[in-house]
Amino acid sequence: MIRLEKRPQPSRAFSLATPLLAVLATMVFGGLMFAVLGKDPVTSIITIFWQPLFGEFAFYYRPQLLIKGAPLVLIAIGLSLGFKAGIWNIGAEGQYIMGALFGAGVGLAFYPMESFIVFPMMVLAGAFGGWLWAMIPALLKVKFGTNEILVSLMLVYVAEQFLASMSLGLMKNPEGFGFPGSRNLQQYNSAFNADLIEGSGMHWGVVAALIAVIFAYVLLTKHRLGFAIRVTGEAPRAARFSGVNPTRLVLFCLGASGLLAGLAGLFEVAGPAGQVTIDFNVGYGFTAIIVAFLGRLHPIGILLAGGLMALTYIGGDIAQSQLGLPAAAIQVFQGMLLFFLLAFDLLTNYRLRPGRTEVA
């Protein structure tokens, strides 16, 4: 018999090793699943993980990794602050939408005036929109003790209705023949969040994501507020004794995650997406939750995890097209990643012991 025994201290080695173990297990079991579907497992895995990075057309896919990964990292960094402190913002998707709407709204209001001031104004508006949307669950929590998980999640659906309304009404392209969707900001120079070096995929959102990683790292390791976040998550009672103000912490964590999600939405709508459309949001806010945990709520880990998720998306689409793998199989593959991560996570806090048979 093997039994689980709680470790006196969480194992640091396993904490670092579990993401790698999870990726390996996903490759093995994912490969098995692809084999059952009648595809060559090795080719499938190579297509997903190798092709985008080093394949024939890597020059195109590498920049795409930045485009796909940046919003994930930006949102996940914000979420990780709250998650560390036990404050659960599940509604980043809604904050992402509101950031995009506020930012694009400012841009569209200035159209067609060309000025260097337009884009910075949009960035501020985008950050404000996301922050504002996150302040609703934050204030309700500190004033009335509501559950921020439920409120932030429900507000995603409210934000989606706003998005539909804006695409069909206020922000609809007047030259769009009555079809839904705003003007394309890619054709409005002052508002376009273009690649800083053409074809590199490096747009302002990527820069912002990198800055956010550095800020979060410094905050968590060097700053008093970072200490408060960590202590609150690990020992709430001790945190209160050490003078942490829980109200301010809730406002800060939800506000910061909303702000970053809003920025991610703004950079997306002004850049790669270009338009406010009914289906603008594609689930970055939810996927970022996975990214945050896959990265162990650590800024550097999140950076790597965001890259990995982006890789599975891009590689997954290539595998669909080249090998005829169904989309559902790719989604199962991505799901396996989180599943194995959580499963191996057990080994951080517990160890396996050959058990003695109990004598009755």
Q: Does 242 bind other proteins (CB under 8 A)?
A: no
- Binding mask 311-340 vs other proteins (x if CB under 8 A, - otherwise)? --xx--xx-xxx-x-xxx------------
Site string for other proteins, 160-179 (x = CB under 8 A): -x--xx--xxx------xxx
Determine, following the binding rule CB under 8 A, whether residue 46 of this chain makes contact with other proteins.
no
With respect to other proteins, which residue has the nearer C-beta, 197 or 342? 197
The three-point CA angle 20-67-106 to 5° equals: 135
According to CB under 8 A, which residues from 60 to 89 bind other proteins? 60-61, 64, 67-68
Q: Is 274 in the site for other proteins (CB under 8 A)?
A: yes
Residues 77, 229 contacting (CB under 8 angstroms): no
Query: How near is the Cβ of 327 to other proteins at its closest, in Å?
Result: 4
Site size for other proteins, by CB under 8 A?
A: 46
Q: In whole angstroms, what is the distance from residue 214 CA to residue 208 CA?
A: 10
For 218, which DSSP code?
H
Q: Provide, rounded to whole angstroms, the least separation between the CB of residue 271 and other proteins.
A: 8
Q: Cβ of residue 33: shortest distance to other proteins, in angstroms?
A: 17
- The beta strand positions in the chain, using DSSP E, are 2-6, 350-354
- Distance CA(19)–CA(216), nearest Å, equals 20
Choose the binding region for other proteins from 42-50, 54-62, 98-106, 209-217 (rule: CB under 8 A): 54-62
Residue number with CB closer to other proteins (61 or 88):
61
Nearer residue to other proteins within complex by CB, 80 or 277: 277
**Chain centre distance of CA 182:** 25
Structure token digits, residue 128: 């404000």
181 near other proteins (CB under 8 A): yes
> Distances in Å between the alpha carbon of 227 and those of 24, 83, 222?
33, 14, 8
Q: Which residues pair with 2 in a beta bridge?
A: 354
Kindly state whether residue 225 participates in binding other proteins, applying the rule CB under 8 A: no
| H-helix or E-strand spanning residue 238 | helix 236-241
**229 token code pair:** 């976040």
Q: Based on the shown chain and the rule CB under 8 A, indicate whether residue 280 belongs to the binding site for other proteins.
A: yes
Place of tokens 């914000």: 78
What is the DSSP annotation of 192-209? ----SSTTS---HHHHHH
Binding residues for other proteins, rule: CB under 8 A, are: 56-57, 59-61, 64, 67-68, 161, 164-165, 168-170, 177-181, 184, 186, 197-200, 268, 272-275, 277-280, 282, 313-314, 317-318, 320-322, 324, 326-328
